[in-house]
Structure 1
Amino acid sequence: MILSCQNIEKAFLEKQVLKNCSFHIEDYEKAAIVGLNGAGKTTLLRIIVGQLEPDGGVVAFAKDKTFGYLAQDSAVNSDNTIYEELLSVKQHLLDLENQIRQAELSMKQLSGDALEDLMQKYADLTHRFEMENGYAYKSELTGVLKGLGFTEDEFQKPVSTLSGGQKTRVALGKLLLQKPDLIILDEPTNHLDMSSISWLETYLLNYKGSVLIVSHDRYFLDRIASKIIEIDNTKVTVFSGNYSDYAAKKEQLRQAQRNAYLNQQAEIKHQEEVITKLKSFNREKSIKRAESREKMLAKIEVLDKPTEVRSDMHLQLTPRIESGNDVLTVEHLAKTFDRNTLFSDLSFALKRGEHVAIIGDNGTGKTTILKLINELVEPDAGTIRLGSKVQIGYYDQEHHVLHPDKTLFEEISDEYPSLNNTEIRNTLAAFLFTGDDVFKRIKDLSGGERGRVSLAKLMLSESNFLILDEPTNHLDIASKEILEDALNSYNGTVLYVSHDRYFINRTAHRILELSGGTLHQYLGNYDYYLEKKSQQGASTESAAFGTLAASAASAASTESSASKLSWQAQKEKEAQRRKKENALKKCEEQIASLEERDKQIDLEMSDSKIATDVAALQKLSREKDEIADKLMELMEEWEQLSE
C-alpha cells in the first residue's frame, strides 16, 4: 500500500465538504476520484499532498515513497526554453554524466593504485547512469514533449512566452519525467488535444507506479482507472473497475437505496397513521399501544434521501419549425490567419437530423469552421449555404454570446422579451439558478455556471440547427449526461466540435476529422472512427511491407518478378477491378436516385392536396424514413468500395 486516508474530514465555515472519508491506494494501482462539481475532489487532493489541513483524520504515505502533484492551474514560470525546463528534471543525470567525462579525462594522467581506484569509481558511475536510463534520457524527454503536443520547432520557445494551457503541459511533462511512486493529477486532460490525451493514456497505463486522478473525461477514466473513489454528499464510496463499471454499479445501488428509502418512508407513514388512529379511540389500552409504537418509531434510524442525479436540471431541445432536407452546404472553403493557412479547399454538407462531430488536433481550425458558418469570421474563399427554414442556435466555448455586465435575469429577458418573470425564473431554475442567483452578473459566474446559462438560452431558442463549440467544457459528468440525453432526443441537426470522446461516442452519427487542412469522413461514432483508423493503419503498414518486399525481390531478379504475374492473373485482376468499379457506380446511382426521390417527397408533402390527407402524409413520411436508413447503408458501402 502506497497511500492510506483514514476518516478525513473537512468543512468550510458551516458547510461540511468531507466527512469520515477513508480509502487507500495500492502499489501500481490506477485510481480515479469522481463526483459532482463542488463535491470536494480537489479539496481531497490538496489534503493528501499537504496543501490543506484536514479538520480530522490521517493521511499516511508508505515509507520512502514519493509523489508528484499536478493541480488544475499548475503552470511553469521560467526564462528557460521548453526543452531546458524539462531537462532540468534530469539534472542529476547531467551531473553524473559530467562526473563520468571527468573520470575519463583523469584516467590518462593516472597509474597504479590511483588508476585502479578511479576505474572502480568509473564503473560505479556508469552502472548508476545505466540503471537510471541515462543513455536514453534525451529520447525520453523528446518523446514526452512530442506526446504532449509540442513540435520540435517549439522546443526552443521560452516558457515565459507560452499560453496558460501550454505552461500546464510543460508542468505535466516535468512531473512525468520525475517518475514519482505516485502521480496525482487534477483534470490533466483539460489542455490536451485528442492525440495528446491518447498518448497520456498509454503512458499512464504502462507507468511503473501508482496513479490517482481527478477527471471529468469518462473515456479517459474508462481506459485508465481500475478503481473509482466516489465523493457523494460528503461521503466516500470505493468501487472496483473502470468508470463504466462504476456507473452501472452506482445506478443499481442508487435504485436499491431509493427503494429502501421509499419503503421506510411508507412504513413510517403507516405507523404514524396507526398511532393517530389508536389515540383517537381515547382509551387507556389503545393509548398505551400508541405510545409503545411511538417508542419503536423513535428508535428507527431514518435513512437519508438518496442524492438524485441532477433530476432537478431539465434540458429539452425542441425545434420550432422543421428545416429542409439540405441544412448546410460548404464548398471550397479557405481561411488563413497571419500567413498560417488552416485550410484552402474544404467542402462538406449536412442533411436534416444528422449529428456530426468535427475532431482534430488543436490549432487545425475546427472552431474557425463554426465561426465561419455563424458569420463571425469572413472566409478568404468558398461558399457557405444554409438550407430552407434553417434556424441556427450557437453555443461557443468562450461564451461570447453572453453579455458579462448583465444579470442572469436580464440575459434571458432581453433575449426573449415575450417571457414573463415567472417563466424566466422557471427556466433559470431548470438550470439550478434559484432565488437571488438570478441577479448575479455573468462576469461573476464560474465557467460551469456560464455553460449552464448558455444551455438555457439554447433551450429557449427553439432552433433546428445547433452549432456547439466544446459544449461539455466545465460541465461535471452528471450535467454532460443530461446534455447527451437531450441531444439524442433532439430531432434537429447538430454540428459540434469536441474533445470529449465519451460525449462523441454517445451523440455523433458522423465524424469529420480535420487533419492537414482536409476533412476525412467516418460514418459512425468515435469507436467506429477508431476502428476505421486502425484498419487504415494496418492497410498502410501492409502496403509498406509489400512495397519493401517487392523492391527486394526486384533487386534479386527483375525478370523473375515480372514473369510471376501471368496473363491469367492479370485478366482476373482486371475483372475484379471492373467489378468493383461497376459496384461503385451502381452504389452512386442508387444514392443519387434516393436523394432525388427524397426531394420529390418534400415537394409532395408541401402540396396543398396532400397536406390535408393524413394517410398520404403518413405513407410519405414512412418512405422518407426508409430512404434515410437505406442512404446510411449505401454511404457506408460507398466508403468501403472507395477505399
Structure 2
Amino acid sequence: MILACQNIQKAFGTDVILKNASFHIEDREKAAIVGINGAGKSTLLKIIMHQLDPDSGEVILAKGKTIGYLAQHDAVSSENTIHDELLSVKAELLAMEKRIRELELEMKSLSGEALENVLETYNRLNSQFERENGYAIQSEITGVLKGLGFTEEDFTKKVSTLSGGQKTRVALGKLLLSHPDLILLDEPTNHLDMNSIAWLETYLLNYSGAVLIVAHDRYFLNRVVTKIVEIDQGNVTTFMGNYSDYSMKKAQVRQAQINAYLNQQREIKHQQEVIAKLKSFNREKSIRRAESREKMLDKIEVLEKPTEVNTEIHIHLTPRVISGNDVLKVEGLEKGFDGHTLFSDLNFEIKRGERVAIIGNNGTGKTTILKILNGLLAPDGGSFTLGSKVHIGYYDQEHHVLHMEKTLFEEISDTYPNMSNTEIRNVLAAFLFTGDDVYKRIQDLSGGERGRVSLAKLMLSEANFIILDEPTNHLDITSKEILENALNQYEGTVLYVSHDRYFINQTATRILELTGNTLVNYIGNYDYYLEKKEELTAIYVPGENASSAVSSDKTETESKLDWQQQKELQAKERKRKNALKKTEDQIAALEERDAEIDTLLASPEVATDVGKCIKLSKEKAQISEELAALYETWEELAED
C-alpha cells in the first residue's frame, strides 16, 4: 500500500464535503476519483497533498515514497525553452553526468591509491546513472514532448510565449519525467487532443508507479483505471474495475438501496396498520399484542431514504419544424491563416437525422469549419448550402452566443421576450440555476455554468440543425450522459466537434476526420473509426504516415479520392457486409434443415413411408442445389 486516507472529514461552513472518507491505493495501482462537479474531488487531492487541512482524519503516505501532483489549472511560467524546462527536471542526473566526465579527466593523471579511490567513486556514480536511465534523458524528453502534442519546431519556443493549455501540457510533461512513486492528476486530458490522450493512456498503463486521477473522460477511465473512488454527497465508496464496471455496480447498489428502503417502509406501514387494528378491538389480549409489536417496531433501525440530489439538467431538444432531407452541402471549402492552409477542397453532405462528429488534432481547423457554417468567418474559397427549412442552433465552446454583461435572467428574456418570468425561471431551474442565481452576471460564472446557460438557449431555440463545438467541456459525467440521451432522442440533425471519445461513441452515426488538409469519412461511431482508421487514412491521405513526405501535386491529386468516391466505396462496403451476413444466415438455416431431414429419413416411421421418403428426398436435393449456389455467392462476397 502506498497511500491511505482514513476517516477524512471536511466541511466549508455548513456545507459538508467529505464524511469520514476512507480508501487506499496500492503500489502500481491506477485509480480514479469520480463525482459530480462540486462533489469534493479536487478538495480531496489538495488534502492528500497537505495543501488543505482536513477537519479530522489523516493521510498516510508509505515511508520513503514520493508523490507528484498536477492541479487542474497548473501551468509553468518560465523564460526557458520548452525543451530546457523539461530538461530542468533532470538537473540531478545532469550534474551527476558532469561529475562522471570530470572524474574521467581526473583519472588520466592519477595512480595508485588515489586512482583507486576515484575509480570507486566513478563506478558507483556510473552505475547509479545507468540505473536511473541517464543515457536516455534526451530521447525520453523528446518522447514525452511529442506524446503531449509538441512538434520538434516547438521545442525551442519560450514557455512564456505559450497559451495556457500549452503551459499546462509542459507542467504535465515535467511531472511525468520526475517519475514519482504516486502521481495525482486533476483533469489531465482537458488540454490534450485525441492522439495525445491516447499516448497518455499508454504511458500511464505502463507507468511503474501508482496513479490517482480525477477525470470526466469515461473512455480514458475505461482504458486506464482498475479502481473507482466515488464521492457522492460526502460519502466515499470504492468500486473495483473501470468506469463501465463502476457505472453498472453503482446502478445495482442504488437500486438495492431504494428497494431496501421501500420494502422497510412497506413493512413499517403494515405493522402500524396491524397495531392500529389490534388496538381497535379494545380487548386486553389484542392490546398486549399491539404493544409487543410497537416495541419490535421501535427496535428497527430505520433506513435513510436514498436522497435525490438536484444534479440532473433537464434537456429536451425539440425542432419547431422538420427540415428537408438535404440539410447541408459543402463544396470546395478552403481556409487558411497567415499563409498556413488549414484545409482545402472540403466536400461533404449531411442528411436529416444524422449525428456527425468532426474530429482531428488541435489546430487542424475543426472549430473554423463550424464558425464558417455559422457565418462567423468567411471561407477563402468554396461554398456551403443549407437545405429547405433548416434552422441552426449553435453552441460554441467560447460561449460567444452569451453576453457577458447580462444576468442569466436577462440573457434568456432578451433573446425570448415572449416568455413569462415564471417560464424563464423554470427553464433556468432545469439547468440548475435557482433563486438568486438567476441574477448572476454571465461574466461571473464558471466555464461549466456558462456551458449550461448556452445549452438552455440551445434548447429554447427549437432548432432542427444543431451545431456544437466541444459541448462536453466543463460538464461532469452525469451531465454528459444527460446530453447524450437528449441528442440520441433528438429528431433533428447534429454536427459537432469533440475530443470526448466516449461521447462520440454514444452519439455519432458518422465521423469526419480532418487530417492532411482534407476530410476522411467513417460511417459509424468511434469504435468503427478506430477499426478503419489505418486503412482509410492510407487511401484518402496517402503520405500522412509515410516515412517520406515528398509528393508532387499530381501524385496527391491522383491518389486522393474525392468525397463522392469515399461515400460510394463505403456504401458499397456496407452493402457487401449486409449481403454476406444474409447469405451466412441462409446457409445456416438450410444446413440445419438438411440435418433434420437426415434424422427424419433415419427414423423407422419415415423409412417405411415411401411417400414421405420421396418428399423429403426431393427437399434434400433442392436444399443441396440452393446451398451450392449460396456457397458460391458467399465465396464471391468474402473475396470482395
- What TM-score range do you get, normalising by the shorter chain? 0.7 to 0.9
Residue 302 of structure 1 and its aligned partner are, at CA, apart by 2.4
Alignment-derived partner of residue 470 in structure 1: 470
Which residue of 2 is the match for residue 158 of structure 1?
A: 158
- Offset of 1:196 from its aligned partner? 0.5
Give the direction of change, closer, same or farther, for the CA distance of 1:94–1:147 in structure 2 (3 Å limit). same
Q: C-alpha displacement at 1:284, in angstroms? A: 6.6
Report what 2:611 is aligned to.
none
User: Where do 1:220-235 residues align within 5 Å?
Assistant: 220-235=220-235
**Structure 1 residues 348-402: Cα deviation after superposition (integer angstroms, max 9, x where no partner):** 1111111000001111110110000000111111101100100001111111111
Amino acid at match of 1:20: N
1:505-524 counterparts in 2 under 5 A?
505-524=505-524
Answer yes or no: is the 8 Å Cα contact 1:11–1:55 preserved in 2.
yes
1:217 counterpart = 2:217:
yes
Tell me by how many angstroms 1:201 deviates.
Answer: 0.3
Q: 5 Å matches for 1:385-400?
A: 385-400=385-400
Output one character per residue of 1:312-352: Cα deviation in whole Å (capped at 9) or x when no partner: 53211111111111101111111122222211221211111
- Indicate the residue corresponding to 1:198 in structure 2: 198
Cα pair 1:233 1:307 within 8 Å, conserved = no
RMSD, aligned CA:
2.9
Q: Rate the CA distance shift 1:539–1:496 in 2: closer, same or farther, 3 A.
A: closer
Q: CA 1:585 to 1:394, structure 2 compared with 1: closer, same or farther past 3 Å? A: closer
CA distance in 2, matches of 1:161, 1:294: 75
Letter matched to residue 375 of structure 1: G
Partners of 2:443 and 2:285 in 1: how far apart?
Answer: 67
Q: Which residue of 2 aligns with 1:9?
A: 9
Task: Give distance in 2, aligned partners of 1:358 and 1:519.
Answer: 9
Q: Return closer, same or farther for 1:587/1:298 CA change in 2, 3 Å cut-off.
A: closer
What is the one-letter code of the residue matched to 1:509? T
2:479 maps to: 479
Alignment-mate amino acid for residue 237 of structure 1: T
> Would you say the 8 A contact 1:319–1:463 is kept in 2?
yes
AA aligned to 2:145 is: L
Superposed, 1:238-317 pairs within 5 Å as 238-276=238-276, 292-308=292-308, 312-317=312-317
Shift of 1:293: 4.2
Aligned to 1:123: 123
- Distance in 1 separating the partners of 2:570 and 2:9: 69
Aligned to 1:52: 52
Paired residue for 1:611?
none
1:63 corresponds in structure 2 to 63
How far residue 516 of structure 1 moved from its aligned partner, in angstroms, is 2.2
Query: What is the distance in 1 between the residues matched to 2:421 and 2:265?
Result: 36
Q: Tell whether the 8 Å contact from 2:520 to 2:537 is kept in structure 1 after alignment.
A: no
What code does the residue aligned with 2:346 have?
L
Cα 1:122–1:527, aligned 2, differ >3 Å: closer, same or farther?
same
Query: Are the aligned partners of 1:31 and 1:213 in contact in 2 as well (CA < 8 Å)?
Result: yes
CA distance in 2, matches of 1:403, 1:286: 72
Corresponding residue of 1:74: 74
- What amino acid does structure 1 have at the position aligned with 2:430? A
Residue 379 of structure 2 corresponds to residue 353 of structure 1: no
Alignment partner, residue 176 of structure 1: 176
Amino acid at match of 1:391: H
The letter for the 2-side match of 1:182 is L
* Secondary structure of the corresponding residue to residue 153 of structure 2: helix
Q: Deviations over 1:87-125 (max 9, x none)?
A: 011011111111111112112222233223322322222
Letter in 2 for 1:72: Q
Provide the secondary structure at the position in 1 that maps to 2:150.
coil
Alignment of 1:563-574 (within 5 A): none
The answer to whether the 8 A contact 2:312-2:482 is kept is no
- Compared CA separation, residues 357 and 54, structure 1 to 2 (3 A): same
Query: 2:362 matched to 1:362?
Result: yes
Q: Which amino acid aligns with 1:203?
A: Y
Residues 352, 159 of structure 1: CA spacing in aligned structure 2 closer, same or farther, 3 A cutoff?
Answer: same
Deviation of 1:275 (Å): 4.6
CA apart distance, 1:58: 1.4
Paired residue secondary structure (1:468): strand
Distance 1:176 1:336 in 2: 35
Measured in 2, the distance between the counterparts of 1:173 and 1:117 equals 38
2:87 aligns with 87
In 2, Cα distance between the equivalents of 1:201 and 1:45?
20
Q: Secondary structure in 1 aligned to 2:156?
A: coil
3-state DSSP of counterpart to 2:485: helix
Q: Indicate conservation of the 8 Å contact 1:30/1:212, yes or no.
A: yes
Overall identity of the aligned pairs, in % = 72
Instruction: Report if aligned partners of 1:23, 1:238 keep a CA contact under 8 Å in 2.
Output: yes
Q: Answer whether contact 2:523 2:570 (CA < 8 A) is retained.
A: no
Q: Which amino acid aligns with 1:444?
A: D
Residue aligning to 2:490: 490
> Helix, strand or coil for the counterpart of 1:138?
helix
Q: What's the CA shift string for 1:149-202, capped at 9, x where partnerless?
A: 111111111111111111111110000000000011010001111111000000
Matches of 2:280 and 2:433, distance apart in 1: 45
Question: CA distance change for structure 1 residues 100 and 539 in 2, over 3 Å: closer, same or farther?
Answer: farther
Q: Distance in 1 between matches of 2:101 and 2:192?
A: 39
Deviates more, 1:84-93 or 1:272-281: 272-281
**2:16 is paired with a residue of what secondary structure?**
strand
1:104-115 to 2 correspondences below 5 Å: 104-115=104-115
Q: Show the 5 A alignment for 1:423-462.
A: 423-462=423-462
In structure 2, what is the Cα distance between the partners aligned to 1:295 and 1:460? Answer: 56
1:35 matches 2:31: no
In structure 2, the CA distance between the partners of 1:587 and 1:286, relative to structure 1 (3 Å rule), is closer
Distance 1:380 1:539, change over 3 A: closer
Looking at structure 2, the residues matched to 122 and 365 of structure 1 have their Cα atoms a distance apart, in angstroms, of 54
Deviation digits for residues 225-253 of structure 1 (CA, Å, limit 9, x no counterpart) = 00111111211111111000111111111
Q: CA–CA distance in 2 between the matches of 1:342 and 1:114? A: 65
Structure 2 residue 24 is matched with structure 1 residue 19: no
Structure 1 unaligned segments of length 5 or more: list them: 549-580, 592-639
Q: Distance in 1 between matches of 2:285 and 2:112?
A: 110
The answer (yes or no) to whether the contact 1:309–1:478 under 8 Å persists in 2 is: no
Superposition deviation, residue 506 in structure 1: 0.3
Compared CA separation, residues 20 and 420, structure 1 to 2 (3 A): same
Once residues 586 and 43 of structure 1 are traced to their aligned partners in structure 2, the CA distance between those partners, rounded to angstroms, is 49
Structure 2 segments unaligned to the other structure (5+ residues): 549-564, 576-636
Q: How many residues align?
A: 559
Which one-letter code corresponds to 2:351 in the other structure? K
* Structure 1 residues 377 and 179, CA gap change in structure 2 (3 angstroms): same
Question: What corresponds to 1:551 in structure 2?
Answer: none
Aligned mates of 1:536, 1:331 — CA distance in 2? 21
What secondary structure is seen at the aligned counterpart in 2 of 1:463?
Answer: coil
Which AA in structure 2 matches 1:266?
R
Tell me which residue corresponds to 1:572.
none
What is the Cα deviation at residue 403 of structure 1? 1.5
